A and B are shown apart, each in its own frame.
Chain A
């Protein structure tokens, strides 16, 4: 589930923090910069593991702060392909079942990866596994809040770095003195998750995945 990632970065320590030990100040800055953030193609950064090397600190003209190149290792959440994980169902929608692990939310089970046959109950907004036995069909509901075990099928990294101003959004230039900000609810503005896990619970011969309550007698 978690991996160690070796990184190098230049850390800026402002002068008012010079009374603290350099290692502590740098650790705090690195955590401030990376904790709970997704690094593109790396994963969700959790916290600093250790500092492996500190190079010399420099002060540049015009800036009172010191700049230090730091080699360090960071704990990152990055499950490997086909890893088994456990989480809770957040909610169900047409796109599939959304699962959360508390610290990481963007986990999706697309409908084709659920145990088949599965159907979406519109009234209750839940996905249902129609389990057939000799006695008849049982409907197993995937309710929110239920613990669920799943296998990682795919991961999607989206680069959410800010892009330049949108080209020619408004036709007429606004007269000076008036705000030109477009309304926030424009259809083009969707917040994409920087890191999504696409997982599955159902394959032809894979018992054991899905709600824990289905398998624990």
Chain B
């Protein structure tokens, strides 16, 4: 076996998630061979990777969302690796942006960081569970304000 190119392309978590979900559908329809001894490794790695990825933001993305995200990100002038990390992690705070974008204090002003967070939150869908909890907490705070 020969490795022609160990880094032909970078894949986003969404692409791998979609590939594995489609492969799972295909194997489910095919039926008989998936329980043979040789296929155990593939089953294990598919199951574990799908389990991990379904808990990340990529499980709520689609090709259109990814395209829209990349076009929104063009004017922020980020490297490919930084855009990929933002796509995979969907950061919500300035601290997370500073981790993923190198030298963010020098390259981005505070408003630009805020704008970046806003863009990420608008284009990439968030966790509906988390947003429910956040909305409930906000509602409570508003009610507390009204009562006092």
Contact = CB atoms under 8 A, between A and B. Distances in A.
Given A2-B15, A36-B44, 8 more contacts: A2-B11, A9-B1, A32-B39, A36-B41, A47-B42, A47-B45, A102-B48, A208-B96
B6 A42 contact: yes
A47 B20 contact: yes
10 closest residue pairs by CB, A with B: A103-B48, A36-B45, A35-B42, A36-B41, A32-B38, A208-B95, A4-B9, A6-B4, A6-B5, A9-B1
A73 B16 CA distance: 13
B8 A84 contact: no
A39 interface: yes
B72 interface: no
Contacts of A36: 41-42, 44-45
Interface string A1-16: 1111111110000000
Interface in A2-53: 2-9, 28, 31-32, 35-37, 39, 41-42, 46-47, 49
B134 to A, nearest CB: 11
A154 interface: no
A42 B8 CA distance: 12
A73 B23 contact: no
A213 to B, nearest CB: 14
18 contacts: A1-B13, A2-B10, A2-B16, A3-B6, A7-B2, A28-B33, A35-B41, A46-B46, A47-B45, A78-B6, A86-B56, A103-B49, A103-B51, A149-B99, A151-B99, A207-B98, A208-B96, A208-B98
